[in-house]
Amino acid sequence: MRRSSQQGSPQGTRAPARPVQQHQQQEQKASPVASTPDKQQPATRVPEKKIVDTRKGGNVNLERYDERLENLAPDRADKMQTGRQKIQNRATQRKAPNFGNKRRQEEQDKLRRLQLEIAKKTPLTVKIPDEIGVGELASRMKKTGADVVKQLMKLGIMASLSEIIDHDTAALVAMEMGCKVEREVLVTIEERLINTAEDKEEDLVPRAPIVVVMGHVDHGKTSLLDRIRSATVAAGEAGGITQHIGAYQVEAKNSLITFLDTPGHEAFTAMRARGAMVTDIAILVVAADDGIMPQTIESINHAKAAEIPIIVAINKMDKPSANPERIKQQLTEYNLVSEDWGGETIICPISAKTGEGIDHLLDMVALTAEMQELRANPNRSAHGVVIEARLDKGRGPVATMLIQKGTLNQGDVIIAGTAVGRVRAMTDARGQKILSAGPSVPVEIIGMSEVPGAGDEFHAVADERMARELAEQRKHENKLSTAGGNAKVTLEDLFSQIQMGELKDLNIIVKADVQGSAEAVRSSLEKLTNEEVRVRVIHCAVGAINESDVMLASTSNAIIVGFNVRPDVNARDSALRMQVDMRMYRVIYDCIDEMEAAMKGMLSPKFKEVALGRVEVREVYKITGAGIIAGCYVTEGRVSRGAQLRLVRDGIVIHEGAVGSLRRFKDDVKEVAHGYECGISIEKYSDLKAGDVIEAFIMEQIKV
């Protein structure tokens, strides 16, 4: 029984060995492939796999196996696929658990608390520009506006959300509230487009000086320019030159000199108004027989304001009445002392008619330029100033430009003020076409989109699209500045500007009816100088206030004081447009007292003058019983019976008084409007002449 159980047991170790060996021996005999093994395989309990070698031409019916597999696989494959999808779905569910609303809310709160803890540990970095609004600062710090306002109040600053604070204040608030501060640098379109980098010393080369000729009317400015041009140009070219450009170049002592052929005061005021310092040297032309005249004084003051050297040319030396020593004596009154008398001013006696002294004058200009060491870098994008511009019917906008730095090439894109264009053609002073121009060379170009303004700076740029964007931005800024107006110094805000330290020099222009009054007003005003502010009379002359005075006052931020004079129409309009403060006085003590009170902050005028209109006297009639009647035409505004009248003759105030009578034809009227004729008499005054101007005004009380 024990033996039979061992034979029948599947766990026996020796019973299955013999059949396995017999089976292997049968396979070795039957199979030719495995008939010659390297060595005898050891006996094992695991059945060996059947190996089918198809490399040596063995024919295996694969179709039979494929068919069998297709018959067996579909049901099992479907079951396997279904099981795989279930497993994938379970894995997906594990990755994104579907919590309920309450659970999701708890997770979000936990995440938010974690973020707040991280934010507390790492301070927020805030970028702050030079100026920033309180509301914008709160937004950048991710704080409420109330918190920022509260912090400002702790620092002693009362500011609302809409107010602007400076960088230092904003940085202090941000640091107090636990933020890290960085200065934000704003790069404008202008900074990206226009290259304003300073030139290296090794890149600079000498350039020609730019000279402007100034002086009184009929003292020989044009004759001098014509003589210089004809004397320095070859005879064959002299006849063919067309002076169609506002500047030209001449050669003297193997060096070029650029002359601006524009009126002196315009060259300074219009260009200085835009901050463009164009000229290097001023030649002041004084007639040897006339001496110093009002426009000569004006030219001297403009040149001094521009801080450029002055060379005096005493013209008309060929006349018998020429007296150069008297001119030198007069020039000393304006701090222009001749070198002969121990001063520093170069004075050259010349004659534009005969050519006497012209070469010496040019040598002095070249010497002065050499002492100034004028240099520029030609190897950069062009930068310069528009001398003049006009609209030509055939060629469109035409601009005369003076290059100060770099080289301007044909095809360059340039921007001048609000005008953008590409240089289509370029001509020099002789009218010849050129392809490029370097520093101190005047050229005339076409191709601008619009006519630029005289004195506008121009730049050659690389990106035309960005240049047009900048031009649009400038137009918008000009519109805003015109609407808002720029802050000029006035007597009303004089004291506040002095207190804030914004005003160190009070510039004043004095215009009077006679020279004695002008000098008296000047000396009295200059005595008002104190420790905080210095009173400077930058221009003092005789005559009516004109547009040039207003332009000089605008560029120098000055107040115009008129003593017994009135502004002309153009000057009045310009002063209103440029917001220049003009003060008119008839008593010198009123002028001094008001100026002194303004400097002390005690200026409180009780009345102000309101202009009603202007009337021009056409004829003067003498009527028995009525006296002198002026036949007038109302050119501006209106004139009424209750108005005050001011009689002005050649810009000088002759008389002030009340209306005696006001008539239309034979009827007394209360008022006469613009465009109508009338008859006017002035109370207790009869010295009326045709051509006089009568200004009607009333005095209104100012409500305090």
pLDDT at 39 over 70: no
Per-residue burial over 15-47, b = 16 or more CB atoms within 10 Å of its CB, e = otherwise: eeeeeeeeeeeeebeeeeeeeeeeeeeeeeeee
Domains of the chain: 106-183 (no CATH), 208-373 (3.40.50.300), 383-482 (2.40.30.10), 494-605 (3.40.50.10050), 608-701 (2.40.30.10)
In this prediction the pTM is: 0.53
553, 579 contact by CB (below 8 A): no
Check residue 634 and give its pLDDT: 92
Task: Output DSSP code: residue 275.
Answer: T
Q: Residue 163 pLDDT more than 70? A: yes
Strand order in the sheet with 558-563: 534-542, 505-512, 558-563, 582-585
Would you state the pLDDT for residue 167?
Answer: 85
Phi-psi region of 307 (alpha: psi -120 to 50; beta: other; left: phi over 0): left
Over residues 383-440, the pLDDT tens digits come to 888 887 888 878 888 888 888 888 999 988 998 888 898 999 898 877 788 898 888 8
CB within 8 A of 615, min separation 6: which ones?
Answer: 632, 633, 634, 635, 639, 678, 680, 693, 694, 695, 696
Which pLDDT tens digit goes with each residue over 663-692?
Answer: 888 888 888 989 899 999 888 888 888 889
pLDDT above 70: residue 95: no
- State residue 632's pLDDT score: 92
Q: How high is the pLDDT of residue 354? A: 82
Residues comprising the chain, all counted: 704
CA distance 629 to 620: 6
Give one DSSP letter per residue of 656-675, joined into a string: EEEEEEEEETTEE-SEEETT
| Helices (H), ranges, 187-259 | 189-193, 221-232, 235-238
pLDDT per position as a tens digit, 469-527: 888 888 888 777 655 445 566 766 677 767 666 667 788 899 988 877 888 888 888 88
The residue behind tokens 């064959």 is 236
In contact, 144 and 138? CB cutoff 8 Å = yes
Q: What is the pLDDT of residues 316-339, one digit of tens each?
A: 888 888 888 888 888 888 888 888
What's residue 387's pLDDT?
81
For residues 601 and 315, the model is more confident at 315
pLDDT score for 75 = 55
Query: DSSP characters for 21-67?
Result: HHHHHHHHHH-STTSS-SSPPPP-SSPPPP----TTS----HHHHHH
Please give the C-alpha separations between residue 37 and each of 19, 22, 32, 40, in angstroms, as whole numbers.
Answer: 20, 16, 11, 7
Only one residue has tokens 């029948």, namely: 8
**What is each CA distance from 368 to 261, 373, 651, in whole angstroms?**
20, 9, 40
What is the SS3 assignment for 632?
strand
CA distance 210 to 452: 21
CB atoms within 10 A of CB 518: 22
Lowest mean pLDDT among 68-72, 103-107, 367-371, 683-687: 68-72
